[in-house]
Amino acid sequence: MSYNEGMLREGSLKSKNILITGGGTGLGRAMGEYFLELGANLVITSRKLEVLAETAKEMMAKSGGKVVPLACDVRDIAQVEAMWAQCIADFGQIHGVLNNAAGNFISPTERLSANAFNTVLDIVLKGTSQVTLTAGKHWIAAKQPGVFLNIVTTYAWTGSGYVVPSAAAKAGVLALTRSLAVEWAKYGIRSNAIAPGPFPTEGAWSRLLPGDLVKKFDPAKKVPVGRVGVHQELANLAAYLISDFSAYVNGDVITIDGGEWLKGAGEFNNLEMIPQELWDMMEASRGKKP
């Protein structure tokens, strides 16, 4: 067995209808493919209908479930409500929402225009809150249970320079997750989050490691386990958290980053740069033989 393989047993998401924002590309697509393999039906949504339609076609060719592509800019509440109404028209009931859509880029903060800052805030925080509010109101009115799974990142709690709009927005999404986990549990609605470390995708790499940066900066070097993430291992965690197996997990954020953020946080973790010979010399200098 390995982390490249699916973890849950066949049929674990049978008869579940799941909405994935940003489901046409990258990690949203990878998680969706696994949900489908486990018996779910999907609505995948984002701005680009052609991308979604192609993804839906490829997904359905591989697996038995139904995949409905719907265009929706999560920044626009009218589009979100229309998209949700279409989900209900197509499936009758949606059981889970994966808030995965995001926008991001690197920049010194003082170089950002107000519009640049707001664009990222709007996609990540406003987009997530609008999808959440729309789905939550519907579930509560229809007396249906539901599960939210929100994709954040580890700098949601540490913050990070050079991606400040994203850090501020993801921190807001984490607060939203924890707040609603308590407030809406009485309606049978759970909320959890996943904080991934580096998982190569075209969308993230092109914006966070543009141009030559990708050659100069190897994200794997910052990860204690020595590698970047593999999409299937994220999909395994997401499938568990969106399934009924995680019924008692509510309000948590699970980090999947090979120890990356803790490495950056620990005061003396950079001492791994010290070679063994130097440790030998230091031991010798306090009178102990190597």
**113 part of the interface to ligand HXC, by CB under 6 A:** yes
Beta bridge partner(s), residue 194: 151, 254
- Give phi and psi for 26, each to the nearest 5: 50, -130
Q: Out of 3, 34, 155, 248, which one is annotated catalytic? A: 155
CA distance 235 to 240: 9
Question: Running DSSP on this structure, what letter comes out for residue 270?
Answer: G
**258 part of the interface to ligand NAP, by CB under 6 A:** no
Q: Which of 78, 80, 82 is nearest to 101 (CA)?
A: 80
Residues from 175 through 214 that contact ligand NAP (CB under 6 A): 196, 198-199, 201, 203-204
Among ligand HXC, ligand NAP, none, what does residue 127 contact (CB within 5–8 Å per kind)? ligand NAP
Question: Running DSSP on this structure, what letter comes out for residue 102?
Answer: -
**24 part of the interface to ligand NAP, by CB under 6 A:** yes
- Residues 46-85 vs ligand HXC: string with x where CB under 6 A? ----------------------------------------
The residues near 120 (Cβ < 8 Å, ≥ 6 apart) are: 103, 104, 105, 165, 166, 169
Q: Which of 22, 103, 27, 33 is nearest to 70 (CA)?
A: 22
CB 38 within 8 A of CB 240: no
CB 59 within 8 A of CB 36: yes
When binding is defined by CB under 6 A, the residue of 72, 74, 102, 189 that contacts ligand HXC is: 102
Least separation, in Å, of the C-beta of 239 and ligand NAP?
16
**21 part of the interface to ligand HXC, by CB under 6 A:** no
**166 part of the interface to ligand HXC, by CB under 6 A:** yes
Among ligand NAP, ligand HXC, none, what does residue 113 contact (CB within 5–8 Å per kind)? ligand HXC
- Tell me the catalytic residues: 155
| Contact residues: ligand HXC, CB under 6 A | 102-105, 107, 112-113, 115-116, 119-120, 153, 166, 198, 203-204, 207-208
